[in-house]
């Protein structure tokens, strides 16, 4: 009996500990935001200088006739000496009028625009970039390389703000703050706009403080020539996350990577769940590949770089393993419910109270980090975890007023919740973290249907954009485990991106 | 040694001032969390 009792007690506390693993990503996110506050002290501004290296801007383009001309025009408006700027468009065997548009721009801006044509295309962005890189490295004109996407818009001072960091020979690459710029936008682009405050403006500032960057934004990465040569003169083609590979290789080669939050680049991001799912699945699969490829780095501090630091490892794996953690929490809570209900209830409360406090701090601070974007994305910021999770947080943090609200509502509607119904609601709350991912997936399934026009956005607001992204990450595990083919699903662009007036 | 043209000392005062404001905003956001905790403990727990 004693042994059985001890085993049962041990099992219970094991389940409690498993639930409390969920606290780690919450604390990691809060710590990451606290580091943002230190960016005023620990940044790279003390080592910048007005350097104007001869910069080649490399643009991979496949069937970009709608956007490439305007892109080149805007690049020529950059606050940067024209004789130090060369726009090299790598035309990835486009079948539309992209080559014609580029040739016209070559005539308009002689000496500033170069057309690099690939006769065989469709192999992905990294191959396209490598074609251009090989040509650029043939002579010594290029001192710095800016890799960007065809449709993004650089604010005029942004390139100068980036190149000044290359004055420090320790810096190998610089990235900018990509902002969502679809005009007109919709609910999805507003969610992405808010997400980019957290994932770029905030997270990358904190990575500046730590001295290690997870990823150079694909649409805004500036490299010194020395860095490009040090990483082998080419972009990795073996994965779907060539940006992250380049970022890791740069830091492994002993150079720093810096995020410049005041260099702003506007990009058109997916406006539908399906398009977002495809884009993020590519990114998430790329992250799985990076995690495997650099498995010897994690949690192994090295004097040459900070990729192996414990803090960076915790940040990386909290995001990478979040879907697994959510499933584990739900499974443990349900198991505890049947073994020891009062203990499960107390654990559930503690988890969600901590979630509530972290949510208030990270959301309010994220909105303060970029008030301009927050002005039109604050609703999506507040509803980022979803209406259901916010209801659970409210109940956990303020049980007395929440119970009063439920009691008043049911009384007003003329019914009373039975004991069984209350326990069903509790079980629903316990499994919600795991269930939110498949429910978010139904929003994608419904989107092409007639009812999906209204239903899918409603589901995203109720379930949350965060769980939607976790669903994508979970899908990426499945695809990688099954060894699914790596397809380069190019995000469809309409050229409707713009800078605010 | 890299041979870039140094034009003049870059003025980063605007950027540094913005980053300082962010530090203060973090303090206010933390204060908001503390207020919520106190209100909960005293009145709504």
**Which residues from B are below 8 Å from A169, CB to CB?**
1-2
Mean pLDDT for A355-378 is 96
Residue A497 has pLDDT above 80, yes or no: no
Q: What is the CATH number of the domain that holds A202?
A: 3.90.550.10
| CA–CA gap between residue A403 and residue B5 (Å, rounded) | 68
Residue B7 has pLDDT above 50, yes or no: no
Residue B5 has pLDDT above 60, yes or no: no
* Co-location of A259 and A393 in the same domain: no
Task: Give the CA count within 13 Å in the CB-facing half-sphere of A460.
Answer: 30
B10 vs A49: CB contact, 8 Å cut-off?
yes
**Full DSSP string of A306-336:** STT-HHHHHHHHHHHTHHHHHHHHHHHHHHH
- Convert the pLDDT of each residue in A138-164 to its tens digit: 999 999 999 999 889 999 999 999 999
Residue A452 has pLDDT above 60, yes or no: yes
Say if pTM beats, i.e. exceeds, 0.80: yes
What is the ipTM metric for this complex? 0.88
Quick one: DSSP state of residue A87? E
Q: What domain count does chain A have?
A: 2
Cβ-nearest to A400 among B30, B33, B45: B45
Helix (H), strand (E) counts: chain A = 20, 8
Higher pLDDT, A1 or A343: A343
| CA–CA gap between residue A209 and residue A225 (Å, rounded) | 25
A472 occurs within a structural domain: yes
Q: State the pLDDT at residue A495.
A: 63
* Co-location of A239 and A329 in the same domain: no
A336 occurs within a structural domain: yes
* Co-location of A218 and A337 in the same domain: no
* Co-location of A57 and A116 in the same domain: yes
Residue A185 has pLDDT above 90, yes or no: no
Yes or no: say if A194 and A365 are a contact pair by the CB < 8 Å rule. no
* Co-location of A300 and A354 in the same domain: no
Q: How many CB pairs under 8 A join A and B?
A: 91
A33 occurs within a structural domain: no
**Full DSSP string of B1-45:** -----B-S----HHHHHHHHHHHHHHHHHHHHHHHHHHHIIIII-
Q: How many Cβ atoms sit within 10 Å of the Cβ of residue A163?
A: 27
User: For chain A, what percentages of helix, strand and coil (3-state, to nearest 5) are there?
Assistant: 60, 10, 30
Q: State the pLDDT at residue A489.
A: 60
A379 occurs within a structural domain: yes
* Co-location of A58 and A192 in the same domain: yes
* Co-location of A259 and A398 in the same domain: no
Cβ-nearest to B29 among A40, A169, A361: A361
- Does residue A220 sit in helix, strand or coil? strand
**Which residues from A are below 8 Å from B40, CB to CB?**
397-398
Mean pLDDT for A315-344 is 95
pLDDT band at A490 (very low <50, low <70, confident <90, very high): low
Q: Is A280 on the interface with B (CB under 8 A)?
A: no
Q: State the pLDDT at residue B41.
A: 84
| CA–CA gap between residue A431 and residue A363 (Å, rounded) | 24
pLDDT band at A10 (very low <50, low <70, confident <90, very high): confident
A400 vs B44: CB contact, 8 Å cut-off?
yes
Cβ-nearest to A50 among B7, B18, B23: B7
Q: Is A34 on the interface with B (CB under 8 A)?
A: yes
Lowest mean pLDDT among A74-78, A82-86, A161-165, A416-420: A416-420
- When scoring B6, B8, B10 by the number of chain A Cβ atoms within 10 A, the one with the most, hence best to mutate, is B10
Q: Is B18 on the interface with A (CB under 8 A)?
A: yes
- Convert the pLDDT of each residue in A46-76 to its tens digit: 999 989 999 999 999 998 888 899 999 999 9
* Co-location of A258 and A382 in the same domain: no
A449 occurs within a structural domain: yes
A29 occurs within a structural domain: no
Q: Is A49 on the interface with B (CB under 8 A)?
A: yes
- Convert the pLDDT of each residue in A347-361 to its tens digit: 999 999 999 999 999
- Convert the pLDDT of each residue in A241-267 to its tens digit: 889 999 999 999 999 999 999 999 999
A490 occurs within a structural domain: no
Say what percent of chain A tops pLDDT 90.
78
Chain A: nearest CA to B42, how far in angstroms?
11
* Co-location of A240 and A270 in the same domain: yes
Q: Which residue on chain B is closest to A260 by alpha carbon? A: B15
* Co-location of A195 and A328 in the same domain: no
* Co-location of A151 and A119 in the same domain: yes
- Convert the pLDDT of each residue in A285-302 to its tens digit: 999 999 999 999 999 999
Q: State the pLDDT at residue A338.
A: 94
Domain that holds residue A381: 317-482
A447 occurs within a structural domain: yes
* Co-location of A176 and A218 in the same domain: yes
């Amino acid at each position: 009996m004693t042994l059985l009792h001890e085993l049962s007690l041990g099992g219970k506390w094991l389940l409690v500990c498993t639930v409390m693993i969920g606290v780690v990503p919450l604390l990691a996110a809060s710590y990451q935001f606290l580091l943002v506050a230190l960016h005023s002290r620990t940044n790279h501004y003390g080592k910048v200088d007005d350097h104007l290296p001869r910069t080649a801007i490399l643009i991979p383009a496949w069937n970009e006739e709608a956007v490439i001309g305007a892109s080149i025009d805007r690049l020529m408006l950059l606050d940067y000496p024209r004789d130090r700027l060369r726009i090299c468009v790598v035309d990835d065997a486009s079948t539309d009028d992209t080559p014609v548009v580029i040739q016209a721009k070559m005539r308009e801006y002689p000496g500033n625009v170069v057309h690099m044509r690939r006769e065989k295309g469709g192999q992905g962005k990294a191959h396209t970039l490598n074609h251009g890189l090989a040509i650029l490295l043939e002579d010594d004109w290029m001192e710095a390389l800016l890799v960007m996407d065809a449709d993004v818009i650089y604010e005029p001072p942004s390139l100068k703000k980036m190149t000044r960091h290359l004055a420090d020979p320790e810096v190998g690459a610089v990235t900018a703050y990509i902002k969502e710029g679809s005009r007109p936008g919709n609910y999805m682009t507003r969610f992405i706009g808010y997400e980019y405050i957290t994932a770029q403006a905030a997270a990358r500032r904190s990575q500046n403080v730590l001295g290690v960057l997870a990823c150079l934004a694909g649409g805004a990465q500036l490299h010194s020539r020395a860095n490009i040569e040090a990483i082998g003169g080419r972009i990795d083609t073996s994965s779907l996350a060539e940006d992250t590979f380049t970022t890791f290789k740069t830091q492994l080669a002993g150079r720093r990577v810096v995020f410049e939050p005041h260099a702003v680049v506007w990009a058109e991001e997916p406006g539908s769940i399906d398009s977002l799912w495809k884009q993020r699945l590519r990114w998430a699969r790329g992250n799985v590949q990076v995690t495997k490829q650099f498995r010897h780095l994690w949690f192994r501090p090295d004097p040459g770089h900070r990729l192996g630091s414990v803090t960076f490892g915790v940040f990386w794996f909290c995001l990478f393993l979040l879907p697994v953690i959510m499933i584990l929490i739900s499974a443990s809570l349900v198991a505890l419910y049947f073994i020891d209900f009062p203990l499960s209830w107390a654990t559930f409360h503690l988890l969600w109270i901590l979630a509530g406090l972290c949510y208030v701090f990270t959301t309010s601070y994220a909105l303060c980090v970029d008030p301009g974007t927050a002005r039109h994305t604050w609703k999506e910021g507040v509803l980022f975890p979803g209406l259901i999770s916010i209801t659970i947080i409210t109940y956990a943090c303020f049980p007395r007023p929440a119970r009063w609200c439920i009691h008043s509502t049911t009384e007003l509607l003329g019914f009373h919740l039975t004991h069984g119904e209350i326990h069903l609601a509790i079980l629903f709350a316990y499994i919600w973290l795991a269930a939110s991912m498949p429910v978010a997936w139904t929003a994608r399934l419904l989107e092409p249907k007639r009812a999906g026009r209204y239903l899918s956005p409603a589901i995203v607001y109720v379930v949350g954009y965060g769980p939607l992204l976790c669903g994508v990450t979970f899908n990426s595990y499945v695809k990688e485990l099954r060894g699914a083919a790596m397809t380069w699903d190019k995000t469809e662009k309409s050229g409707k991106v713009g800078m605010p007036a | 040694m890299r041979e870039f043209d140094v034009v003049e000392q870059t003025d980063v005062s605007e950027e540094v001032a913005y980053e300082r404001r962010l530090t203060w905003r973090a303090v206010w956001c933390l204060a908001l969390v503390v207020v919520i905790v106190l209100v909960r403990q005293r009145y709504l727990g």
